[in-house]
Structure 1
């Protein structure tokens, strides 16, 4: 069986420096302006609330723009990612922007082996992360293990309905073409680009991914000893998920142009580890 970690890691190792160099990630703004926050974290602020003084962990942090943003909001942040190249770029960003963050290289499922159990007040997971993981129940157990009793999970993610849509239709129809529910076999993609503008010619173009239904995510957290405290579905997403069918909104979000209320674009889910 192909090792999905090795396949995906090779892809993300190649993407990381390309993303750091792209204006889409606005690395220069982080370095120039000590108050600059990523668009994703800016969107999250109304639900995220005051995180000053919290010990925070950002799972699947990539090059660290959201992690640095959370640190700038007053949390003591750790970022974790399985890509050595991503962690290298994240450390450079933190150093050059003057924002103290601790970055750790590890697969999500091994996070409890390299970080102290029960040591975080907040676990944050951002857009486009959990789809690279095959088992949502194992993810939920890791989250619960790392949080202190009463600690909080905050995740904003692409909605599983959005991930299941065919994204290249010219007729404007919304067609469910891919798995909505988690399935053992991955969706295998071979794409020669990435989601930022670049002239880079990629060598590692294959990725393996999985969708996870909303019920599966919520159930996994409940089984892991978490209490769900909030679930909000949004009618926008921070990238042009359906090219040619979306309109860019102020603040960097995108929305379906035609009757956007038909489609849950993203969701924010919050849960608390049950005190024991």
Structure 2
């Protein structure tokens, strides 16, 4: 176990219960409405297509809101996360929502060993996942290992342009690396990204940025073909507090001042060759 793995696991273990209790994750709506979907999945619903009967895995699934949503769209879902505390909340959500999901606790880099090579029609990764991994190439190898030939990767992620901005300056300006870097960015932030009733004790995190070119090249090098790529001017959380406005209809946040100047997120799809 690396130091970064341990540091981040402690942070996400502590966040899990806080996130599950937050109205931002809407556990109550999942239980009350069998058609309810997470905002992240709703945003990409037209791009996801028909998932009926697909064997799908959600990597870095956290507390399972996107995982349950994909299950409701007809996929046979597996969820994997390194946080046992997060998976405990995910299992509670799935039970309340009436969803049958196979959850596994493991480092994402061990996913092929844990879940099986070529076992899936669809690998899904949601917003805010790749920044916790040091190597785009190593992640892409995992994706390729999990997919059957012809299987699809679907990812919605924060844009590396957004990750490079310093949110403490007004206007936000580039400060952090756009390109992949060996040493992690170390942050000590006592607050998580949802409203909570207490600060975090395990407040330190280690993260990395990866350029679009590095991510796409890693997928190509591991035998995938890019089939769709869309950049968006919005993200599903208030990434630059005080400088973003909430689009209630889309449940997305974008810059108040000329949102077209910042690529905030992207949706990428690729298919495994063979």
How does the TM-score come out when normalised to structure 1?
A: 0.97
SS in 1 for 2:24: helix
User: Residue 222 of structure 1: which of 217, 220, 223 is its match?
Assistant: 220
Unmatched 5+ stretches in structure 2? none
Superposed counterparts of 1:1-276, under 5 Å? 3-170=3-170, 172=171, 174-249=172-247, 250-275=249-274
SS in 2 for 1:124: strand
Spell out, residue by residue over 1:160-206, the C-alpha distance to the aligned partner (whole angstroms, 9 max, x if none).
00000011223x2x411001011000000000010010112321000
Distance in 2 (CA, whole Å) between partners of 1:81 and 1:2 is 16
Number of corresponding residues: 273
- CA RMSD across the alignment: 1.0
Distance in 2 (CA, whole Å) between partners of 1:251 and 1:95 is 27
Unmatched 5+ stretches in structure 1? none
SS in 1 for 2:111: helix
Spell out, residue by residue over 1:63-96, the C-alpha distance to the aligned partner (whole angstroms, 9 max, x if none).
0000000000000000000000011110111011
Distance in 2 (CA, whole Å) between partners of 1:3 and 1:25 is 29
How does the TM-score come out when normalised to structure 2?
A: 0.98
Spell out, residue by residue over 1:141-170, the C-alpha distance to the aligned partner (whole angstroms, 9 max, x if none).
000000000000000000000000011223
Residue 251 of structure 1: how far off its partner (Å)? 2.5
SS in 2 for 1:195: coil
Runs of 4 or more, structure 1, over 6 Å off, are none
